[in-house]
Amino acid sequence: MRKKIAIVGAGVGGLATAARLASKGYQVEVFEKLSRCGGRAHIIEDRGFKFDTGPSFVLMPGFFKEVFDYCNQDINAYLNLKILDIHYKIFYPDGDVFTVYRDGQRTKEEIERFEPGGAKQYDKFIKETSLFYKAVEPLLYKCFRPWQLCHPVYWGLIPKLKIFNSYWDIAKKYFKSEKLCYALTFEAMFIGVSPFKTPAFYSIVTYADHIQKIFHPLGGMYKIPLALERMAEKFGARILYNSEVSRINTKKNKLLLSLDNGESAADYVVANADYAYAQNNLLLRRLPKFKYSCSVFLLYLGLKRKVEELEHHNLFFARDLRRNLKNIFDDKIISDDFSFYIHVPTRTDSSLAPEGKEILYVLIPVSNLEGFKQDFREYQDMLRGIVFKALKEKFGLNLEDLIEVEHRFYPEDFIKRYNIKFGATFGLAHTFMQSAFFRPPNIDQKIRGLYYVGASTQPGGGLPPVIASSRIVADLITRQDF
């Protein structure tokens, strides 16, 4: 008789795990409390506008290809990934603009504008980050325990990973210009942390961005969970929507999921719920003192016409970025001087909006709600107004007159909708003591047959690591059985 696997949550990690294990012949059921798949990689559809509500770009495409290869499927039959010629533009408060191109030579020319001789330094920077990448990539498919760090095989990682240096330190080693340093470390914000406190080896994100390039799935980012859902169902996985799991229990040699309409027994359970929520709410355990990532405030705007002034990806830096980061991560306050990101996917993919119209997705990093004493909603119009004012001053754009559709997403919505503790959008923060050997492992230490997949477990947050975590779990289960 085939062994049964129950997966709690149909996010990208849960769906990738379901596809892998179903392709190996397991009986797989996925329980999702929402009416659609995707988890944080969700979608809002309104009057012909399709707003991706989660990740906004594809980085490290090899991780995406790997999950389809694992299931003996051709990724091209599921996803059409388009490489971007202009990766993004960075707008500095003094009017300077820095563009990162698919063509590395053009990016070097941009660097030379900011710092003569910077192109050679850029080559050295990329070489060092490539060494980090070579050291880290194999580790992304392994499940670690802290005691394993004592094994001599891993001792060589300590000098390679420069664990006592920060992401910022690596950039500052090569560039005098703080503008360039910010341009080469801002990716830390996309894993919810400050580049001044993030370990140096997370610069692999910059390496991937500049060397492996940035992609967009035609049809929108929501095509990714839909592709994984389709592949899982092709191999027989059942995905049950509007099915919230309230508890994980054990009985004899089985694991039991408590549902509104009864219980479901399984040989294995994979929790794709947020790790902190799974521990607190599904297992009734006390949590250790974790550090959590920042949150975000999001605006989804459907515009009446195209806005040629913006690229697919755009970053606007605060006047005092160091202070802005301190406000978010240390002071836990809302600032009137902040950085923000604007995503205009319709510059690449017109299918996401009615003909002749545009999508503008605004992301503002803000504090998570742990110890946050302000009423966030009192500040939403101020934040929105500052973004609109910046676009008016920079481009003469009057967004207020162009809006046809508007949706807002708040830090507390991450709690209500996705059960994310403190509304910490990216889950557990990527500090040194919450990375690799010290991040929650993918296998439960007390309950046999219970596993974890997702952003707050190993190897970490972001779509590529989450997909890698599904490989870790699938390997742990299949090795036990075969």
Tokens read off for 83:
């490489």
Taking alpha carbons only, the member of 380, 311, 304, 392 closest to residue 345 is 311
Taking alpha carbons only, the member of 439, 14, 470, 430 closest to residue 190 is 430
Tell me whether the omega of the peptide bond preceding residue 459 falls within 30 degrees of 0, making it cis. yes
Contact 60, 461 (CB under 8 A): no
Which DSSP helix (H) or strand (E) runs through 122?
helix 118-136
Taking alpha carbons only, the member of 284, 285, 253 closest to residue 269 is 253
Taking alpha carbons only, the member of 388, 184, 429 closest to residue 293 is 429
- Cα separation, 306 vs 269, in Å, equals 47
Tokens read off for 45:
């559809």
Taking alpha carbons only, the member of 380, 406, 467, 482 closest to residue 39 is 467
Alpha helices per DSSP H over 419-462: none
Taking alpha carbons only, the member of 427, 423, 473, 467 closest to residue 271 is 473
Name the 3-class secondary structure at 243. coil
Taking alpha carbons only, the member of 120, 122, 121, 86 closest to residue 103 is 86
- Cα separation, 325 vs 189, in Å, equals 9
Return the domain boundaries, the chain: 4-41+220-290+432-481, 105-215
Tokens read off for 309:
């002034």
Do strands 313-316 and 86-91 pair parallel, antiparallel, or not at all (unpaired)? parallel
Tell me the helix, strand and coil percentages in the chain, rounded to 5: 40, 20, 35
- Cα separation, 204 vs 331, in Å, equals 28
Q: Count of alpha carbons within 13 Å of 358, Cβ hemisphere only?
A: 21
- pLDDT tens-digit map of 332-348: 999 999 999 999 999 99
Q: Where are the beta strands (DSSP E) in 53-187?
A: 81-83, 86-91, 97-101
311 φ/ψ angles, rounded to the nearest 5 degrees: -90, -175
- Cα separation, 295 vs 374, in Å, equals 14
User: What pLDDT, on the 0 to 100 scale, is given for residue 151?
Assistant: 76
457 φ/ψ angles, rounded to the nearest 5 degrees: -110, -175
- Cα separation, 239 vs 270, in Å, equals 14
| Alpha-carbon dihedral angle through residues 422, 294, 164, 169, given to the nearest 10 degrees | -170
- pLDDT tens-digit map of 357-368: 999 999 999 999
The order of strands in the sheet holding 340-343 is 97-101, 86-91, 313-316, 340-343, 358-366, 295-303, 403-409
Residue type, 367: S
DSSP category for residue 364? E
The pTM assigned to this predicted structure is 0.97
Q: How many helices (H) and strands (E) does the chain have?
A: 15, 19
CATH code reported for the domain at 4-41+220-290+432-481: 3.50.50.60
- Cα separation, 321 vs 337, in Å, equals 8
User: What pLDDT, on the 0 to 100 scale, is given for residue 27?
Assistant: 98
Mean pLDDT, the chain, rounded, equals 95
Residue with tokens 């063509």: 103
Positions in the chain whose pLDDT score sits under 50: none
Maximum separation of any 2 CA atoms in the chain, in Å: 69
CB-count exposure of residue 327 (10 Å: 0-12, 13-18, 19+): buried
CA angle 106, 167, 312 (to 5 degrees): 40
